[in-house]
Homo-oligomer: A and B are copies of this chain.
Amino acid sequence: MSTERISELLQGLGKAATAAAGTLALAPSAQKNAALAAAAAAIRARRDDILAANERDLAAARAVHMSGARLERLRLDAERVAAIATSVADVVALPDPIGTITAEWHRPNGLTIQRVVVPIGVIGIIYESRPNVTSDAGALCLKAGNAAILRGGSESRHSSSALHACLLAGLEAAGLPPAAIQLVPTTDRAAVGYMLSGMTEYLDCLVPRGGKSLVARVRQEARVPVIGHLEGNCHVYVDRDAELSMARAIALNAKMRRTGICGAAETLLVDRACVATHLAPLVRDLLEAGCEVRGDETVRAVDPRVRPASEDDWYTEYLDAIIAARVVDGVDEAIAHIARYGSAHTESIVTANQATAERFLRRVDSAVVLHNASTQFADGGEFGMGAEIGISTDRFHARGPVGVEQLTSYKYVVRGAGQVRP
């Protein structure tokens, strides 16, 4: 597609999204919820169409020998479609933040000031081949009154289109403009570049969802604010005062429950003061669960299967059944290790010592810090926030799980009786 055609196409989407955002910002909760409920119903009703579309994507993917893991992420079945519908329907039950008064005060001159939650506006979402992002991101943006411009991976284009058609059916049923949720109707890669730099007039923010290279590219090239995380190099620190059985359960769960999610632990830190009692069981649990362990000298002494860790390992987000492990001199060295090598995503301390725990929770500068709980709880659903559009490792606007509440802005409403400024 020519550059001019891409530009024309995306400018058109941008204009339509801006107009739709104006309508969405004023749409009552009931209308947005009606659209979500109707979209969920449409997903259920059109299950066979969605699966047929997915089959076209899978056939194309197999033809180019897509890897098993990627193919698995792309694949839908009846159960997955049902889960996608449920996930959209669940957004209905979330509180609508728009219009909430988050602060209200009175000035000595008689002015009253309210801070009122409003939508961000138009949100662009750039994602790879998970078809469910189409409906999840569309639903969350809609609930928070934002117009969405979705740009999915080319491998999932038929699946995404089929799901998008259901979202459109929901919008239509509720009398909301179809441009509230638009799917970029081209898989031309130039469209991504244009969203990053050519649409500053229309896009209020961009959300990349995908691998590190996608997120890094969006961060590097985007000319509008970005919500996204680069990595989750998460740590579990087992303190001298950790109860051993709890430490074992948390370390194993944090690493191995699901290794491919951003809240999975990537490094295990063990206090030197409990090496004699705690280290061997922790390491053996992991090895026996099929995890490769890369350790410092002390860790390697535990078991011959432990491989040597290099400096690089402390920086690495494996997203796989691999963990780096080392011994540290107490909580302060653990905090220092995390500050140096971590990605400020999620870290957990296991200890029965309250003071040590509070020191860790206060001093570790990550989006989520946990005491005596698995890092795998770093998740919007587990936080009770409902669906999320991702976990932010930014410190700006939104940090941690990004749900409906984080997809909003605010304005100040000031009421007076004729006040002029002296």
Contact = CB atoms under 8 A, between A and B. Distances in A.
A395 interface: yes
Given A395-B409, A414-B371, A113 B225 contact: no
Interface stretch (A165-173, A243-251, A271-279, A320-328): A243-251
Nearest to A25: B365
Interface stretch (A4-12, A44-52, A128-136, A375-383): A375-383
Nearest to A354: B415
Interface stretch (A68-76, A183-191, A300-308, A396-404): A396-404
A204 B369 contact: no
A413 B369 contact: yes
B372 A417 contact: yes
Interface in A343-386: 357, 361-363, 365-374, 376-377, 379, 382-384
A373 B249 contact: no
Given A377-B419, A418-B246, A421-B377, A412 B384 contact: no
A26 to B, nearest CB: 7
A387 interface: no
A372 B409 contact: no
A111 B26 contact: no
A205 interface: yes
Contacts of A417: 372-373
A111 B374 CA distance: 11
Given A113-B383, A362-B26, A411 B400 contact: yes
Interface in A11-66: 22, 25-26
A341 interface: no
Nearest to A396: B225
Integer count of this chain's copies in the complex: 2
Given A204-B396, A377-B111, A367 B411 contact: yes
B369 A411 contact: yes
A339 B26 CA distance: 14
B368 A418 contact: no
A412 B250 contact: no
A167 to B, nearest CB: 23
Interface in A284-304: none
Nearest to A246: B418
A379 B412 CA distance: 11
Contact of A204 (B121, B371, B373, B395): B395
9 contacts: A26-B362, A225-B225, A225-B396, A225-B397, A257-B421, A372-B415, A373-B416, A379-B421, A400-B410
- Shortest 3 CB-CB distances between A and B: which pairs? A373-B416, A253-B420, A397-B397
Given A253-B420, A369-B411, A373-B420, 17 more contacts: A107-B383, A111-B377, A113-B383, A120-B395, A121-B395, A253-B421, A361-B415, A365-B411, A367-B412, A369-B413, A371-B413, A371-B414, A376-B421, A377-B416, A383-B412, A396-B409, A399-B411
